[in-house]
Structure 1
Amino acid sequence: MIYRLGDFHFPDDPARLYPGTPTRPWVLEIGFGDGRFWPHYARTFAEAPNYLGVEISGTSLLKAHRRLKDAGLDNAILTKLPAEVLLPGVIPPASLDAIVVNFPDPWPKAGHEDHRLLRVPFFQQAASRLKSGGAVLLTTDHEEYFEFACAQAEASGVMRVERTEPPAAALETKYALKWRDLGLGANHARFVPTAPTPATFLPFAPYLESEPNVPHAVLTLPADFAPQAFQKQTVRGPHWTVVLLDLYATLRRGGWVALAHVVEGDLTQEVLVGITEREDGTHLVRLAKFGGPIITPGVKAAVGAVTEWLEREGAAVKHRGY
């Protein structure tokens, strides 16, 4: 099953995500590629654990979905999200049995270390989300990144490093097979939490819990309104950046939709803001549901940015709901 961002709760309940298998162990795989690892690894259990896979490649997402479906793994959820958003946002504290990272991008060029996943902040987040006895499992062919990750785990102050042989399933992935054909091996480590770790959450998590209404505004457009005059614009707030990218006419007469790029820390959303004519001649500016966005302060600001642009173009705002 593929989940969009808006399909999750923040944080979510494993019993809601896996209603048919709520008591099974829960495994998160970060960067599942084309999905070869999980069918092999799931067969090593008497019952397949609940699985959540996160990946940033849409092509890999679709390939993995077909692979897991063919394997009959119906308690598996895949999503296209950065791990830096999913881990502190979706995963409740002390709920995972394992976090699997196979052959992550090592970002080998000088000055790119900040892009690496396996750094101190990640290990501290991971420690807070793992159950007692859980672990982060890393398999990589990149010697320097492996040593870097081990050093970062120790520097986090919350992880013990156990260097072991990789599970057989990790050697069936696309990259593992490539290195094996070249006569190369892989490094493997288990990172085990050593002490209870306080959980941190996305900065807007408390806002999400309040289940805000869909942001909107009602306004009257001037008779000579000319959407062709729209230009790309950027609006910045204390914790968000909104870029209004473009404006498109809809099939419905007197209607438009604005495309906005919203950045809040590690979370990026592309949202659509509709401008729709109503029966009384006014227009409704409203966040569209397309793409399953989550309503954050930045998304509210996107609706506000569209409204304020229309106001500068001569619109008279009757109501603001954002």
Structure 2
Amino acid sequence: MKIVVDTMGGDKDIPDINIEGALYAVKEIEGLNVILVGPQKIVEEKLDSISKKLFLRKYLKNLSIVNAEDTVSMEEQPSKALRTKQNSSIAVGIKLIKDNLADGFVSAGNSGVIMAFALTQIGTIKNVSRPAIATMLPTLNSSCIVLDVGANVDCKPSQLVELAYMGSIYSEYILGKKEPKVALLSIGNEETKGNQQVLEAYKMLKQTKLNFIGNIEGKDIPFGVADVVITDGFVGNIILKFGEGVSEMLLSLIKQALKKHPFAMLSLPFVWNAIRDIRKKVDFTEYGGAPLLGLEKVCIISHGRSNAKAIKNAIKVATQMVEKKVNSIISQYMEKVVI
């Protein structure tokens, strides 16, 4: 299996974190090969030095490099990138999966630009009007997926139904949840609550064979009321970023409380494992990346603040999607769906 990694994607420490993540991935995942896309000379030098530092030179045989001289900033407009950045690591990487030279693509770069190149070079599955970013959120006893979290700031009711189908399939085949509970995010649990978009989507979802449990409120998400939470990309992205902020705040509050009360530090050895478990649960790097569902090919978008661990786990998500043929299953399912 071959996975493409955009070495120039991310907010900081690039291409280092992407190369480190790729090295960790080929070490951990048997039979995996990674294609590193980026400026050839820079990537070659970094790969040589990082593999020595991490004592992972024996895995160099599992990595190759494809040259792409241009880079895309996080502020770049997708329309401009499509015109001027055809030789960027994003564009070249996506073309590799389009031409069947690799099985999946992973990037921590500009999500809007990734989406633009993916749409123009790969295209969507039949009966899917727009792809969506599906992200994992931790819940009290497990996790759920929320989609869309940023690919489409506005969604028609029919598009929300598309998201429900794709999210349900992903939840079942990747997360192993049989008949996942699908819910629509709204301002109340009642069927009559919500804007026009939500009200119409609710009626349509009731007619499907999905395990649709109705509306849920934002407060229900952390308690795992639903396995799949459906919303447009505008609200979904706010939920995602708010959740990240709350998680970081809670960890900071724990640290402050321990420092404020000296005697509490004495109990730290006894509660450290519990604190570590909580931190791991809310750590986005554990979940790797978010799939761009609805495309013909596997495309994973990682957080811009990803570290090497997050990139490794994003590559892992890509391999799981390829192995379990999630895109093919979504395609087969959506061909039968009339929305």
Give the TM-score normalised by structure 1: 0.26
Name the structure with the higher strand share. 1
Name the structure with the higher helix share. 2
RCO comparison, higher one (Cα < 8 Å, 6+): 2
Instruction: Mark the structure with the bigger radius of gyration.
Output: 1
Give the TM-score normalised by structure 2: 0.25
